[in-house]
Amino acid sequence: MNDEIALVDLDDRITGYALKADVHRDGLLHRAFSVFITNGSEMLLQRRNVRKYHSGGLWSNACCSHQRRGEELEEAVHRRLREEMGFDCELSESFRFVYRTEFRNGLTEYEYDHVFVGRYDGPVTADPEEAEEIMWVPFGELKARLETSPEEFSSWFVISAPAVLASLERR
């Protein structure tokens, strides 16, 4: 939580940097990214480690994080995918969105989130400090679970996954 991450305005222009812990405590708008990985018919999900500072134990996309000071966004996306899931692959930015979630522990996610999508068919070695469990879920099953049990998923995943699934269906 000691990384300095990029603060942004609603046009995604960097306005400064602050420690990640302070950003989440103070609810500051910051740049983030979410990485979605498919194998063609299934999406890779991770159950966030229960000890994470928020959303622990919830299912989410392959990985997500923040751009650090002195790091380009593309560099951060690939770094974090390697760190959390033990692999890297070609990724393309699909869309962006802004959301705000306040958690019971007093922390706030107020993010300008860049959503990246990639395809990967190889082995996955998740960092247990980040992900307690991983699974590949067929698109149709995931869509149904999001509709019937959204409380099982992170707030940003509930917002962004339907758009990712819709874009994959159009391909």
How far apart CA 171 and CA 168 sit, in angstroms, is 5
Comparing CA positions, the residue from 132, 97, 135, 137 lying closest to residue 114 is 97
> SS3 breakdown of the chain: % helix, strand, coil, rounded to 5?
30, 40, 30
pLDDT digits (tens, 9 = 90+) for 85-115: 999 999 999 999 999 999 888 889 999 999 9
Please, which residues have CB within 8 angstroms of residue 93's CB and are 6 or more apart in sequence? Answer: 114, 115, 116
**pTM of the entire predicted model:** 0.95
Cβ atoms < 10 Å from Cβ of 132: 16
How far apart CA 134 and CA 45 sit, in angstroms, is 6
pLDDT for res 47: 95
16: alpha, beta or left? (left if phi > 0; alpha if psi -120 to 50): left
Cβ atoms < 10 Å from Cβ of 152: 15
Select which of 63, 84, 109, 111 is catalytic: 111
- Residue 54 pLDDT > 80: no
Kindly indicate the confidence band of residue 130, based on its pLDDT and cuts at 50, 70 and 90.
Answer: very high
pLDDT for res 1: 46
Maximum CA extent, the chain = 41
Select which of 63, 64, 84, 130 is catalytic: 64
pLDDT for res 56: 75
Comparing CA positions, the residue from 157, 79, 89 lying closest to residue 123 is 89
pLDDT digits (tens, 9 = 90+) for 17-41: 999 999 999 999 999 999 999 999 9
pLDDT for res 170: 75
Q: Is 72 a catalytic residue?
A: no
Q: Is 64 a catalytic residue?
A: yes
Domains and CATH numbers, the chain: 4-170 (3.90.79.10)
Look over the chain and give the mean of its residue pLDDT values, rounded to a whole number. 94
Percent of the chain with pLDDT over 70: 98
